[in-house]
Amino acid sequence: MASPEPKRLVPFTRESLEFMEQHIVKKHSEEDQDLKPNADLEVGKELPFVYGNLPQGMVSEPLEDVDPYYQNKNTFMVLNKKRTIFRFNATWCTLSPFNSIRRTTIKILVHPFFRLFILISVLTDCICMSMTDLSKSSPALQNTLLGIYTLEILVKLTARGIWAGSFYFFGDLWNWLDFSVTLFEHITKYSTLNLTSISEIARNLRILKIIPLNQGKKWH
């Protein structure tokens, strides 16, 4: 049996969302139930060139998913300039895909420089921790790094949504760890109790953040 023709890249519009929602409420056929995700179209992989060139106007913009498996999953796809695949929920539990704030945070999240910026911040944090203990480290540097990590979480929360769907923020265990460590750092920063030793442990957990940052398909 011949392979189906690759779907061309199409912007994700309000009509796309309405069609998807109508398709979801219909009873799935046996053929639909047998569909599996295309291994070549996994999150973090580059879109194969068989799908054609990526027009500049479609870079970092919501697109209809080219993988048939996701066409009734209430999701949409975004490609950065390197053609790296990202997927996001189009469910009611997040801001609309057409919301200007969400679209802006998606552009930030999928940009290669954003991931590089976070990686440099984590490496800087690790170097500082190896050179001095927490009580002697620069408060200005600590506050700057904490601000960067907080901004990263806010970008991800806005772009991905808090709950529901396949690609929400807390659906990734790495995000749970990152959120917990950042929240605890904020608590210790403003707490009247002496939690320096516990805060050092929390900051040391930040080193684990390097793992998903070096595995692009798992960092979202």
Kindly provide the b/e burial profile for residues 16-47, where b requires at least 16 CB atoms within 10 angstroms of the residue's own CB: bbeebeeeeeeeeeeeeeeeeeeeebebeeeb
The CATH number corresponding to 111-218 among 1.10.15, 1.20.120, 1.10.287, 2.60.40 equals 1.20.120
DSSP secondary structure letter of residue 5:
P
Q: Rounded to whole angstroms, how far apart are CA atoms 70 and 175?
A: 23
**Domain assignments of the chain as residue spans, ordered by start:** 14-89, 111-218
Give the rounded distance of the alpha carbon of 64 from its chain centre.
18
- pLDDT tens, 134-186? 556 678 888 999 999 999 999 999 999 988 788 999 998 889 989 999 998 88
The pLDDT, as a whole number, for residue 125 is: 87
Sequence-separated (6 or more) residues with CB below 8 Å from residue 100 = none
SS3 63: strand
Q: What is the pLDDT of residue 20?
A: 84
Residues of the chain with pLDDT under 50: 1-2, 30-31, 217
User: Which pLDDT score, from 0 to 100, does residue 219 have?
Assistant: 55
Say if CB 61 and CB 94 are below 8 A apart.
Answer: no
